[in-house]
Structure 1
């Protein structure tokens, strides 16, 4: 889980970075480009020119400790330096990324409480309305897709939407999606339910969900099956298979007979024609070794386990010194 430090922790971290004994080499941010899209508001672009189809790995999560503070940060605090080590992109409420050829990979921070001017929002897709506009949408036309998303939990959204929506798809290649939930003190706020839709025509689907997930998972594959980790399996309250589709409910079922797919429950729909669908919690260590076969590349690849605790800076400098 990603930890949002209080102002005292941020000041202490900044002082540590400014200390002469920390490193003889100046700290370089992960994205020094002044024209970067790491900003508040929507992100919409078409990327091209990536020669590799190897997506980044999933990352193990640092569990919450007693060092976390006792109050929920406001939106302005969450939009500033709320992580130690290699900085993540600034939180946004709307992401739209497409790529025509090659792998699409990256990491994003979603805060559903942010307000984006309508003039900056991307155009609505066919069949989409303002009420159903997705918070996160990435699509690769021909290549693997890997997304690491950090969700800042909010109980409500200013536009009145009742859930936070994510969608990722590719026509040909695997899909890997890891959803981390930020820890905002010991009193974790109730978040909006999530809706996640993942699709590929030819490739496996790997899903990492937060421990707070409670709701339905519908996985459909013509060749490969739907596979759950032991931890997820232990929390399954309902499980049925009908032909090529498996329907699962994770968490405690409401005993009043109400429909578990109502607005208060999370929802995941995963669909592939040829490939397995694998679902784990994001803090399960097996995800990292299973979903990558070589050394991670790029800034995203450098966010290995422990970087959120301040290790990112030292590892980033070490990677620069060895020429990687």
Structure 2
């Protein structure tokens, strides 16, 4: 018996492996993981009005009326137009007002000023009207004094009709979104927002009316710069 040397045995095994490529284990290609791209930072809008998210200290209510012959009106009022109020707690209707157009908030003072924060909230969780969103109507009327009203809407400043009676000024940002409609004597009406949302039947959405007997009105967004032009500073408007 002839025993093959160890080296010849190894060479023979190598030749057998080369002649049977199907018996060799295939190579598994290892792929690199996909690259990780950083999330792009949001683009800053130039000249944007930064409006902080409103927080309120008082509970929401609806159909609120405060009327003084003498005295100022200050504080915070939170309005939820979808909130039901028992008829026994409703204030009396004003002249020319009906249940269909009852104002959600009416502030009046004869010899005082108005300085309030008004919060507007959406549909409440319970005890609310079902169906389409409710309109909000605000009426501020100091007779011969100033009015400072800061309206904070949780869902942002949506389209609304603005009626101002007396000398009034709209800020540059507010004027850019306002469409003038009528001017009769000192009463001006604007639509603030996308005017295409109005239909042939008119507007049944939110409305803000400010009436100051002998004062001036300036309308601007919360958070907007309060810088006035030279002529307005000169004449004190």
TM-score normalised by L of structure 1 = 0.45
2:203 maps to 262
2:223 maps to 283
Alignment of 1:25-64 (within 5 A): 61-63=51-53
Q: Does 1:146 align with 2:146?
A: no
Displacement of 1:279 after TM fit? 0.8
Displacement of 1:245 after TM fit? 4.1
Instruction: Mark the CA change 1:118 to 1:108 in structure 2 (over 3 Å): closer, same or farther.
Output: same
Conserved in 1, the CA contact under 8 Å of 2:141 and 2:211? no
Displacement of 1:149 after TM fit? 0.8
1:173 maps to 145
Q: Does 1:219 align with 2:159?
A: no
Q: Does 1:158 align with 2:129?
A: yes
Larger of the two Rg values belongs to structure: 2
Q: With CA pairs under 8 Å and 6+ residues apart, which has the higher RCO, 1 or 2?
A: 1
Q: Secondary structure at the match of 1:254?
A: helix
| Paired residue total | 175
Q: Does 1:244 align with 2:186?
A: yes
Cα distance between partner residues in 2 of 1:254 and 1:261: 11
Displacement of 1:213 after TM fit? 3.2
Q: Unaligned stretches of 5+ in structure 1? A: 1-59, 65-82, 184-210, 288-324
Instruction: Mark the CA change 1:103 to 1:259 in structure 2 (over 3 Å): closer, same or farther.
Output: same
The structure that is strand-richer by fraction is 2
Conserved in 2, the CA contact under 8 Å of 1:96 and 1:122? yes
Displacement of 1:107 after TM fit? 0.5
Q: Deviation per CA, 1:219-271: give whole Å up to 9, x if none.
A: 332xxx3211111122234467565344433222218x8459421x4333333
Displacement of 1:143 after TM fit? 0.7
Q: Deviation per CA, 1:277-310: give whole Å up to 9, x if none.
A: 21101231428xxxxxxxxxxxxxxxxxxxxxxx
Instruction: Mark the CA change 1:275 to 1:122 in structure 2 (over 3 Å): closer, same or farther.
Output: closer
Conserved in 2, the CA contact under 8 Å of 1:215 and 1:261? no
Displacement of 1:180 after TM fit? 0.6
Conserved in 1, the CA contact under 8 Å of 2:136 and 2:207? no
TM-score normalised by L of structure 2 = 0.60
Q: Deviation per CA, 1:164-208: give whole Å up to 9, x if none.
A: 22222222211222211125xxxxxxxxxxxxxxxxxxxxxxxxx
1:199 maps to none
Q: 105, 112, 132: which one pairs with 2:101?
A: 132
Cα distance between partner residues in 2 of 1:117 and 1:142: 31
Conserved in 2, the CA contact under 8 Å of 1:89 and 1:108? yes
